[in-house]
Structure 1
Amino acid sequence: MRAVASTIDVLVVDDNPIMRAALQGILAADETIRVVGEAGNGREALALAERLRPAITLLDHRMPIADGLSVVDALGRLTAVLVLTSTEEPRIIADMLQRGARGYLVHGEFKPGDLVRAVHEVVGGRGWLSPIAASVAVSMARARSTPQRTDPAYGSLTERELEVMNLLCEGLSNAAIAQQLWLTEKTVKNHLNHIFAKLGVRSRTEAVVRWTR
């Protein structure tokens, strides 16, 4: 029998018991993931997170007593938070990300395997966003184009890398960035690799999320 490496303890938070059961069933397919608790509202989630200290919490937004948005910052001090909800409101998505959520998945926009991978990515210190959440993250980056200059990582980027990063935040593809800056796509890819290394990220989405904080 193959030995299992480190186990990822998960807390599932959703006011729908059927959804909690479904999520547990999906996560059970990965032997390195273990659901250690479940909660039906934000207040219960905080109490369980304080006691169980899970590596990650799957957090719904719309719940009675205390919704996800009201507890995400406090939860984020105890555990990594991956929002898992049907809420697609840009304001809620932006608030969740700004308050410390490391990922945001919308029901219906991901497959079971995506959820398992998202858990691993978020626990590994990276981000994971559904398309709608990624779009909101890009908008956040645009809105904060001036404040972002105070980010400690800002000074480590070259002038050209800053140009590439700003165009990335506008949602441009490598080809579009290359055309805009009169570069080859290979050169753009090299710039992005340098940017990712300096920001401590591994993907375009993670770079945009990192740049908005």
Structure 2
Amino acid sequence: MMRAGTTPIDVLVVDDNPIMRSVLRGILAADQRLRVVAEAANGREALDLAQRLRPAVTLLDHRMPIADGLSVVATLGRHSAVLVLTSSDEPQIIAEMLRLGARGYLVHGEFEPGDLVRAVHEVVGGRGWLSPIAASVAASMARGESVAGPVRHPEAGRTERLTERLTEREREVVELLCQGLSNASIAQQLWLTEKTVKNHLNHIFAKLGVRSRTEAIVRWTSSG
């Protein structure tokens, strides 16, 4: 619980996927010290909101319409600490984001909800937080090495194989889950019993390595 008189940390969430924005808002809501003050679906909206609201932290996606994250990160950094939160694990993108002022870089599939909350606090405190592949790129940059070639974490790319882990029925269930449907609604859509849907979800959670509906949505959505 937030102590009386404590000022919450304002956060701006920038992602073109409305489901992902909703999930991120839910994760941050678990920490009463954090407050999502606005959401943006592209870089242009993000710049307008950041300039007006001056959030402490901006969670910034890279691949977005109108203006992507790379094109706005430097300007956003004048109004807010930027924590990049994206599926882009290309070394060149990571390096350029860090050069332009991003204080942290998280790759979907390489962090848990608790990591995101901790990363926000670290960034507010003037420190950084990097996913393993981003840390590898940062280390290469510090050594003056080129990052033009492939610099990958040994497990990078594992999210690309998520579809292979699930059966066809499980994929149908998780897709409906990502649309925000309840167990009862999923059962109705797929002509199943609620107990069968619950069993499918338990199998899905195990295969994706998650423990909740929110974590499953994050993992599945970030896999593309």
Q: TM-score, normalised by structure 1?
A: 0.66
1:126-145 to 2 correspondences below 5 Å = 126-143=127-144
Taking the TM superposition and a 5 Å limit, the aligned residue runs for 1:48-87 are 48-87=49-88
Q: Note the C-alpha offset of 1:110.
A: 0.4
Q: Which residue of 1 aligns with 2:119?
A: 118
Q: What is the Cα deviation at residue 108 of structure 1?
A: 0.6
Q: Which runs of 5+ in 1 are unaligned?
A: 145-213
Q: Which runs of 4+ in 1 moved over 4 A?
A: none
Is structure 2 residue 45 aligned with structure 1 residue 44? yes
Aligned partners of 1:2, 1:17: CA distance in 2, in Å? 28
Give me the whole-angstrom Cα distance separating, in 1, the residues matched to 2:13 and 2:73. Answer: 13
2: CA distance, partners of 1:3 / 1:140: 40
d(CA) in 2 for partners of 1:48 and 1:35?
Answer: 12
The aligned amino acid for 1:81 is V
Residue number in structure 2 paired with 1:92: 93
1:130-209 paired onto structure 2 within 5 Å: 130-143=131-144
Task: Indicate the residue corresponding to 2:199 in structure 1.
Answer: none
Q: Quote the offset at 1:2 in angstroms.
A: 5.9
Counterparts in 2 of 1:93 and 1:2: CA distance versus 1, 3 Å: closer
SS at match of 2:127: coil
Count of residues in correspondence between the two structures: 145
* Residue equivalent to 1:198: none
Equivalent in the alignment of 1:3: 3
Q: Secondary structure at the match of 1:100?
A: coil
Which residue identity does 1:3 align to in structure 2?
R
Partners of 2:2 and 2:72 in 1: CA distance: 38
Structure 2 length-normalised TM = 0.63
**Distance (whole Å) between structure 1 residues aligned to residue 93 and residue 2 of structure 2:** 42
Distance in 1 between the 2:89 and 2:34 partners?
27
The equivalent of 1:30 in structure 2 is 31
Cα distance in 1 for partners of 2:3, 2:96 equals 40
SS of match in other structure, 1:143: coil
Partner of 2:13: 12
TM-superposition CA deviations, 1:18-62 (whole Å, max 9, x none): 000000000000000000000000000000001111000000000
In the TM superposition, what is the alpha-carbon distance from 1:3 to its structure 2 partner? 2.5
* Aligned counterpart, 2:163: none
Over 3 Å counting, the alpha-carbon distance change for 1:48 and 1:131 in structure 2 is: same
| Deviation (angstroms), 1:142 | 1.4
> Given that residues 56 and 81 in structure 2 are in contact (C-alpha distance below 8 angstroms), is that contact kept between their aligned partners in structure 1?
yes
Deviation of the 1:141 alpha carbon: 1.1
Q: Label 1:135 to 1:120 Cα distance change in 2 as closer, same or farther (>3 A).
A: same
- Aligned partner of 1:63: which letter? M
| 1:124 shift after superposition | 0.6
Stretches of structure 2 that go unaligned for 5 or more consecutive residues are 146-224
Name the % identity. Answer: 78
User: Cα distance, 1:114 vs. partner?
Assistant: 0.3
Partner of 1:155: none
1:201 aligned residue: none
Q: Which residue of structure 2 aligns with residue 207 of structure 1? A: none
| 1:143, distance to aligned residue in structure 2 (A) | 1.5
Does the C-alpha gap of structure 1 residues 2 and 110 become closer, same or farther in structure 2, counting only changes over 3 Å? Answer: closer
Distance 2:55 2:138 in 1: 26
